[in-house]
C-alpha cells in the first residue's frame, strides 16, 4: 500500500487549484441513469470514487466515455441493460445507493446491494427506502440486497424527512423527476451539492423548484433529455486547504473557491485567527497571528460540516487555549484522535464531544489513516510537526482528494508519495 512521508515545519504559500466536488460529481454521474441521451459533465475530479461510479454505471449498461484526454469531461448515457448494483462494487462506496431511485424511476425495478464506504457510522438507508415506498415502490430486503419494484411507475406524493439527510434527499429528488404528478420533499437537505444537482436535472428537462429552501417541489415529466453541466468546485477540498494555511501560518490562494459554498466554515476559520478574503474566482486564506481555540458542533448545511471536523481538529490541536468539537452526524468520527495524540496532540473524547487543549508543537510519527477526512487531518498535523511523519493506508485519501502531494509540494510542503 502507498504511503506519504511528510517533513513538517514549512510555511505554505502560493496557489492551489480546487477541483470538482466529489460529493457533487458522483450524484451528477448517477443522474445519467435518468435519460437515454448523453449527459456531458465537465470539471470531473480524477479520484478513486469517480472510477468506482464509472464501473457501477457500466454494470448497468450505461456508456461512460472520456470526452477529453485528461478524463475531466465525461459523456454518460444509454439504455439500462441491468438493474443490479452488485456487492463487489457497492461495498467500495456508500454513494452507490443513489442508483436505487433513478433505476426505479426509469426501469421500474432495481436490485441494489446495501452500501459500504468509510467506517464512520451506521448511516442507515431507512429514509431512502421509506421515501421510495411513499412514491409507490414495493421494497424487500433479502440477502444483503434491496429488491425494489414500481410496476406502474412511481407516483408523486409528500415526503417529510425526519432528518435533513443529503443522500435521502438526492435519491428521492432524482426518483421524483420521472414520477407521475407532484412530489414535495419537506426538510430536504440544503447542501450546495444538492443545488448543483437540481441545476443539472433542470437542464435535463426536470421541473424542480425550491432549491436551498428546505422544501423541494418536483413536477414529474415523462422523460429527461441530454444536457451539459460543469461540476461545482469542491467546498470540502477548499476548506481542507484553508486549514493547511491555518496550521502552517501560511498564505494560500484557493482557485475556484467560493465563500458562499463554505457556510459556517468561513466564520469558524476567522474565529480561530485565520483570515479569509474573497477574490475574483478564488479565496485567499492566510494566518499571521496565533491560532485561537474555538468550539464547533457539526450540523447540516449551512452549519459546520461533519466532513471538515477532522481537519479543524488537527489545526486546533496547535491553537492557544482549549477547543471543543461535538459530532452530531456520525457516531464513529473520532477515529483520528488516537493518531493525532501519537503526534503530541492533547485530545480527550467524552461521548460525542472531543476536548482539545492546544500544544505549542507536534512531533512527527508513524500514523495510519482510518477514513477519507481523517487521512487529511494527519497530513495537516504532519505539515506542522517537527520531524518526519509517515502516513500509511492513504488509499482512503485517494477516494476523495486528487494529487494531494503535488498540490502541497507546489506551495512549499515537503511531502513524498512512496509507492509500494
Does residue 303 sit in helix, strand or coil? Answer: coil
Helix, strand, coil percentages for the chain (3-state, nearest 5) = 35, 25, 40
Return all residues near 208 (Cβ < 8 A) that are at least 6 apart. 173, 177, 198, 201, 202, 216, 217, 218, 219
Give burial (CB, 10 Å; 0-12/13-18/19+) of 375: buried
- Residue numbers in the known binding site for UDP-N-acetyl-alpha-D-glucosamine are 94, 307, 329
- 3-class DSSP state for residue 407? helix
Q: Which residues contact 370 (CB under 8 A, 6 or more apart)?
A: 119, 335, 336, 339, 393, 396
118 part of the active site = yes
Rg, Å, the chain Cα set: 21
> Can you tell me the distance from the alpha carbon of 204 to that of 225, in angstroms, rounded to the nearest whole number?
5
Contact predicate 411/13, CB 8 Å: yes
Beta-strand pair 182-186/207-209: unpaired
Query: Of 118, 200, 238, 243, which one is the catalytic site residue?
Result: 118
b/e per residue 336-353 (b: at least 16 CB within 10 A): bbebbebbbbebeeeebb
Cα gap 160→215, rounded to integer Å: 9
Q: Which of 128, 139, 175, 170 is nearest to 156 (CA)?
A: 175
Preceding amide of 408 cis, omega within 30: no
Choose among 157, 172, 33: nearest CA to 101: 172
Please state the residue numbers annotated as binding site for phosphoenolpyruvate. 22-23
Rounded CA-CA distance 171/165 in Å is: 10
Residues with active-site annotation = 118
Amino acid at each position: 500500500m502507498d504511503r506519504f512521508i511528510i517533513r513538517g515545519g514549512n510555511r505554505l504559500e502560493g496557489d492551489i487549484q480546487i477541483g470538482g466536488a466529489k460529493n457533487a460529481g458522483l450524484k451528477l454521474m448517477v443522474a445519467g441513469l435518468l435519460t437515454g441521451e448523453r449527459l456531458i459533465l465537465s470539471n470531473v475530479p480524477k479520484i478513486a470514487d469517480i472510477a468506482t461510479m464509472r464501473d457501477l454505471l457500466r454494470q448497468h449498461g450505461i456508456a461512460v466515455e472520456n470526452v477529453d484526454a485528461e478524463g475531466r469531461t465525461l459523456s454518460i448515457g444509454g439504455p439500462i441493460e441491468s438493474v443490479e448494483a452488485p456487492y463487489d462494487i457497492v461495498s467500495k462506496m456508500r454513494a452507490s445507493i443513489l442508483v436505487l431511485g433513478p433505476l426505479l424511476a426509469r426501469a421500474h425495478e432495481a436490485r441494489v446491494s446495501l452500501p459500504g464506504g468509510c467506517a464512520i457510522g451506521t448511516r442507515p438507508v431507512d429514509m431512502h427506502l421509506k421515501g421510495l415506498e411513499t412514491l409507490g415502490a414495493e421494497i424487500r430486503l433479502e440477502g444483503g440486497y434491496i429488491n425494489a419494484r414500481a410496476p406502474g411507475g412511481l407516483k408523486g406524493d409528500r415526503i417529510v424527512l425526519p432528518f435533513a439527510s443529503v443522500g435521502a434527499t438526492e435519491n428521492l429528488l432524482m426518483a421524483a423527476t420521472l414520477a407521475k404528478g407532484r412530489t414535495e420533499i419537506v426538510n430536504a437537505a440544503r447542501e450546495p451539492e444538492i443545488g448543483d444537482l437540481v441545476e443539472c436535472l433542470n437542464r435535463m428537462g426536470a421541473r424542480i423548484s425550491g432549491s436551498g429552501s428546505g422544501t423541494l417541489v418536483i413536477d414529474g415529466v415523462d422523460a429527461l433529455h441530454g444536457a451539459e453541466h460543469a461540476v461545482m468546485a469542491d467546498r470540502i477540498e477548499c476548506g481542507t486547504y484553508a486549514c493547511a494555511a491555518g496550521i502552517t501560518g501560511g498564505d494560500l490562494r484557493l482557485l475556484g473557491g467560493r465563500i458562499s459554498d463554505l457556510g459556517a466554515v468561513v466564520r469558524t476559520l476567522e474565529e480561530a485567527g485565520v483570515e479569509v478574503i474573497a477574490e475574483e474566482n478564488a479565496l485567499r486564506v492566510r494566518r499571521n497571528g496565533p491560532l485561537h481555540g474555538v468550539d464547533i458542533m457539526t450540523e447540516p448545511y449551512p452549519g459546520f460540516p461533519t466532513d471538515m471536523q477532522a481537519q479543524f481538529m488537527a489545526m486546533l490541536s496547535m491553537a492557544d487555549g482549549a477547543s471543543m468539537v461535538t459530532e452530531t452526524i456520525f457516531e464513529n468520527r473520532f477515529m483520528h484522535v488516537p493518531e493525532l495524540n501519537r503526534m503530541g496532540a492533547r485530545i480527550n473524547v467524552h461521548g460525542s464531544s472531543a476536548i482539545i487543549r492546544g500544544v505549542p508543537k507536534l512531533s512527527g510519527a508513524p500514523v495510519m489513516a482510518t477514513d477519507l477526512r481523517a487521512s487529511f487531518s494527519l497530513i495537516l498535523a504532519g505539515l506542522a510537526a517537527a520531524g518526519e511523519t509517515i502516513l500509511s493506508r492513504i488509499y482512503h485519501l485517494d477516494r476523495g482528494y486528487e494529487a494531494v502531494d503535488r498540490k502541497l509540494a507546489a506551495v512549499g510542503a515537503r511531502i513524498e508519495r512512496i509507492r509500494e
